[in-house]
Amino acid sequence: MGCNLTSLPTFTPQTPAPVQTATPLPTPGWDWAAPGVETRTLTPNGLGLLSQVILYRFDPAQVTFKAHIAGAPLRAGEWRTALPNALGFINANFFTPEGFHLGMVVSDGATSGASLVNRGGMFQVQNGVARVRSLIEEPYNGEILEQAVQAFPMLIVNRQPIYQEPRVDRTSRRAVVAQDSAGRVLIMVTPLLGMTLNEAAAFLSAEAELDIVYALNLDGGGSTMLVAPGGVELPSFDPVPVVLAFYAR
């Protein structure tokens, strides 16, 4: 039987359905806090619940970092109001009782303060690349940076725990910025009693899954502050003048 060309059905083009891409799974043991941001909570072996640590791990391809200086030290809520577009932030440099930061800070290319010499380390962004660096192993020589914060001491250099000052080491809340072999940036805070610097260095080195290559102690104690994705807010006891903030790219 022949086909009746006058009665062919009409065809209405349909908008193709959007392609469904799978959301990548976080690393086992970690949870997604935001795109490119994983988080987990750990209790270091042998130290107990009061030494619990909160960890965040950032993919630099999806997250960028900026240093911010306030005209006067601010509390967590005030920093959150000042940085409404940030995913979060952590306290950074040590500072004097008058509120002036110790060590150099670079914020969007503008430098404030003098670099630490023969001590400590630096978190920097140069040509868009974030990294943690020892200022003893690699002193700052005036190179142009987009962002930087400095503190002390270094806890891990080339995968090895290096803090060796037991006479002045004490249990305290801690804030740390670190980097793994894949270039991911990690931050760690202790929200409760905390730990000694030796314990912090030993913990970060011993946790093989973290794969830490460099780790820098930031101003801890009463200055320990963290606001992060997922509703985490650890207010400091003292207002702070400098934070390292993180933003979605």
Tell whether the model's pLDDT for residue 211 goes beyond 50: yes
Which pLDDT score is estimated for 1?
A: 41
Q: How many domains would you assign to the chain?
A: 1
Residue 170 belongs to a domain: yes
Tell whether the model's pLDDT for residue 16 goes beyond 80: no
Residue 139 belongs to a domain: no
Q: Are 180 and 213 in contact (CB under 8 A)?
A: yes
Which pLDDT score is estimated for 119?
A: 95
**Side chain identity at 126, as an amino acid letter?**
Q
Handedness of CA 209, 168, 134, 72 (dihedral sign): positive
Residue 4 belongs to a domain: no
**Percent of the chain clearing pLDDT 90 (strictly above):** 82
Q: pLDDT for 37-65, tens place per residue?
A: 999 999 998 888 999 999 999 999 999 99
3-state secondary structure 23-92: CCCCCCCCEEEECCEEEEEECCCCCCHHHCEEEEEECCCCEEEEEEEEEEEECHHHHHHHCCCCCEEEEC
Tell whether the model's pLDDT for residue 13 goes beyond 70: no
Q: pLDDT for 94-147, tens place per residue?
A: 999 999 999 999 999 999 999 999 999 999 999 999 999 999 999 999 999 999
**Average pLDDT of the chain to the nearest whole number:** 90
Alpha-carbon gap, residue 92 to 150, rounded angstroms: 7
Query: Burial of 242 by CB count in 10 Å (0-12 exposed, 13-18 middle, 19+ buried)?
Result: buried
Alpha-carbon gap, residue 234 to 226, rounded angstroms: 5
Q: pLDDT for 61-86, tens place per residue?
A: 999 999 999 999 999 999 999 999 99
Residue 35 belongs to a domain: yes
Residue 7 belongs to a domain: no
Which pLDDT score is estimated for 19?
A: 41
Residue 36 belongs to a domain: yes
How far is CA 186 from each of CA 20, 46, 90, 180, 189, rounded to the nearest angstrom?
30, 23, 11, 8, 10
Peptide bond into 153 cis (omega under 30): yes
Residue 55 belongs to a domain: yes
Alpha-carbon gap, residue 178 to 151, rounded angstroms: 12
Tell whether the model's pLDDT for residue 2 goes beyond 90: no
Which pLDDT score is estimated for 24?
A: 66
Residue 125 belongs to a domain: no
State the residue range of the domain holding 160.
27-96+151-248
- pLDDT class of 164 with cuts at 50, 70, 90: confident
Q: Are 30 and 172 in contact (CB under 8 A)?
A: no
